[in-house]
Structure 1
Amino acid sequence: MIMNLRPTRNHSDWRLSAGFRLGLMPEVEQKVFCIGFQRNGTTSTGDFCEQQLGMARRGYRIAQRRKWSRCWYQGALERIFSDPVFRTGQVFDDGPWWFPKLYETLYERFPQAKFVMFDRDPEAWFRSMVAHSGGRSPGFTDIHARIYRREDELRELSDGDPGNVPAINGFSLEDKKEHYIGIYRQHNEDAAEFFARRAPDRFFRTDLNDPEKFRKMACFLGFEDRSYDEVRSNVIASK
């Protein structure tokens, strides 16, 4: 069973105890990383693990405040791994954990870690991406450009001056469906192949629309095989 570290409050923004601030809380070695692409239930997975499994969750708000995605962009992963907020976390959803090939580094760096991935129909996924930010690219433009292989476009748009491109939502997704779906499919296939060859027992994958997904995932993580409540967070219509 995964070690259960309880928060001081039932809130997604975890309060750090006095013991933690004094460095008395132990590092959690068996971590769970959500590596499915954005708009694939990553927030729902974090909410489920936090609310129904009692796991110490490090989600979007914490990652944003600690600038973990920016660390990935700058090639400073050890800055993340040495962060005491990261070290005492159990489950990690949202960025940067699903970023390209990061799971390979996490697999090597944390030999007791497990990895979960929900995926969905690629067409539905892209519609959800478009709906998320009004047809614009979600999140920081430069990070998005690297994830989705649009860095050449970013350089052309900036024309030598980064101020020419909005720091957030800087790209249009119009006429880019095939490009995005290709990257989405490749990520899912590469991740599945990577773990199939190395450690299939450390990787869980199912469809986002599987009504039993959370029960199956809980069992995979070593929790009780029983009924669990469905969780759907940050749902945006995509049909």
Structure 2
Amino acid sequence: MNKVFIIGLPRTGTTSVSVALLEQGFKVAHIGLTKRAFEVADVVSDVPCFCDYPQLDKLFPHAKFVYVDRPVDAWVNSIQMLLTKMAPNLADKTGTFHPILKRCFKQTFGDLKADDLLDKTRLKQCYLSHQQAVFDYFEGRNDLLTITLNEPDSLQTLLRFIGVSDEAIKRNDTVDFPVLNVGTHVASWGEYKHPNKVNTNLAGPEHRKFFDYQKLGLANYCAN
């Protein structure tokens, strides 16, 4: 099958989408930080997909992309919580998170040490800027699906978009996305056990190297 990349921002429901697709038999990486993770997974979500979708589009020319939308005011409240939890580990020199994760958050949310990092107006603009960039990039194409998880039949719409037959959809009893990472909970993916989960840091022939976009001649489309 063609690759599927989930490019909604964190706290839009990317974990719920990832778990739903695991249950449909797809190999899923929620965050992919190595070439091997991208090679093995059918579906990759979150970091770095929400930032690097133009490069992934070039690397995987037949891929499909799914933008997960959420009412922006509800998203702002949720991302404030997440950034508060993550900020110490996102620091350039002292933070313990992977450099790719740091890069994607910095490119999306700007200066992570800014006094107004959690300002609602600022975060709302980050969300809308990312959304507009996605819509501009995929304008006139048919390989982007936009979904809101609590809308009726959104899971079935997603499955049809990525090539699951109506017969297979009817055979499956699941009709809605699972509700995960509610409130201050952020660890549902790590807690969820499934044989189709793909390790974020999966090693391969080149160990744990990621794609070298410069070497591949792929421009960096992500906003600073």
Q: How does 1:12-31 map to 2 (within 5 A)?
A: 30-31=2-3
Of 140, 143, 149, the residue aligned with 2:90 is 140
| 3-state secondary structure, aligned to 2:139 | helix
Of 158, 161, 177, the residue aligned with 1:230 is 177
Task: Tell me how far apart the structure 2 counterparts of residues 138 and 222 of structure 1 sit (CA, whole Å).
Answer: 41
Spell out, residue by residue over 1:81-133, the C-alpha distance to the aligned partner (whole angstroms, 9 max, x if none).
xx33321210001211112xx11111122111000011111111010112336
Aligned to 2:47: 95
Of 141, 147, 164, the residue aligned with 1:206 is 147
Q: In the alignment, is the contact (CA less than 8 A) between 1:195 and 1:203 conserved in 2?
A: yes
Aligned to 1:106: 56
Corresponding letter in the other structure for 1:124: A
Corresponding letter in the other structure for 2:62: Q
| 3-state secondary structure, aligned to 1:85 | helix
The aligned length equals 168
Spell out, residue by residue over 1:147-178, the C-alpha distance to the aligned partner (whole angstroms, 9 max, x if none).
31116x46xxxxxxxxxxxxxxxx7744x111
Aligned to 2:66: 116
Task: Tell me how far apart the structure 1 counterparts of residues 88 and 62 of structure 2 sit (CA, whole Å).
Answer: 32
Corresponding letter in the other structure for 1:109: L
Aligned to 2:12: 40
Report the TM-score, using the length of structure 2 for normalisation.
0.66
Task: Tell me how far apart the structure 1 counterparts of residues 8 and 130 of structure 2 sit (CA, whole Å).
Answer: 8
Q: CA deviation at 1:203?
A: 0.6
For the structure 1 residues 138 and 232, does the alpha-carbon distance in structure 2 shift closer, same or farther, using more than 3 Å as the test? farther
Q: In the alignment, is the contact (CA less than 8 A) between 1:120 and 1:209 conserved in 2?
A: no
Q: In the alignment, is the contact (CA less than 8 A) between 1:137 and 1:173 conserved in 2?
A: no
Aligned to 2:161: 220
Return 84-93 or 178-187, whichever deviates more: 84-93
Task: Tell me how far apart the structure 2 counterparts of residues 59 and 212 of structure 1 sit (CA, whole Å).
Answer: 23
Which runs of no fewer than 5 residues in structure 1 stay unpaired? 3-29, 69-79, 155-170
Higher relative contact order (CA 8 A, sep 6+): 2
Q: In the alignment, is the contact (CA less than 8 A) between 1:34 and 1:92 conserved in 2?
A: yes
Report the TM-score, using the length of structure 1 for normalisation.
0.62
Spell out, residue by residue over 1:9-60, the C-alpha distance to the aligned partner (whole angstroms, 9 max, x if none).
xxxxxxxxxxxxxxxxxxxxx1100000000111111101111x20011124
Is 1:86 matched with 2:34?
Answer: no
Task: Tell me how far apart the structure 2 counterparts of residues 139 and 147 of structure 1 sit (CA, whole Å).
Answer: 16
Task: Tell me how far apart the structure 2 counterparts of residues 149 and 117 of structure 1 sit (CA, whole Å).
Answer: 21
Sequence identity (%) = 26
Q: CA deviation at 1:194?
A: 1.3
For the structure 1 residues 34 and 92, does the alpha-carbon distance in structure 2 shift closer, same or farther, using more than 3 Å as the test? same
Task: Tell me how far apart the structure 2 counterparts of residues 35 and 92 of structure 1 sit (CA, whole Å).
Answer: 9
Task: Tell me how far apart the structure 2 counterparts of residues 110 and 216 of structure 1 sit (CA, whole Å).
Answer: 22
For the structure 1 residues 138 and 121, does the alpha-carbon distance in structure 2 shift closer, same or farther, using more than 3 Å as the test? farther
Whichever of the two has the greater Rg, that structure is 1
Aligned to 1:167: none
Q: In the alignment, is the contact (CA less than 8 A) between 2:108 and 2:130 conserved in 1?
A: no
Return 133-142 or 39-48, whichever deviates more: 133-142
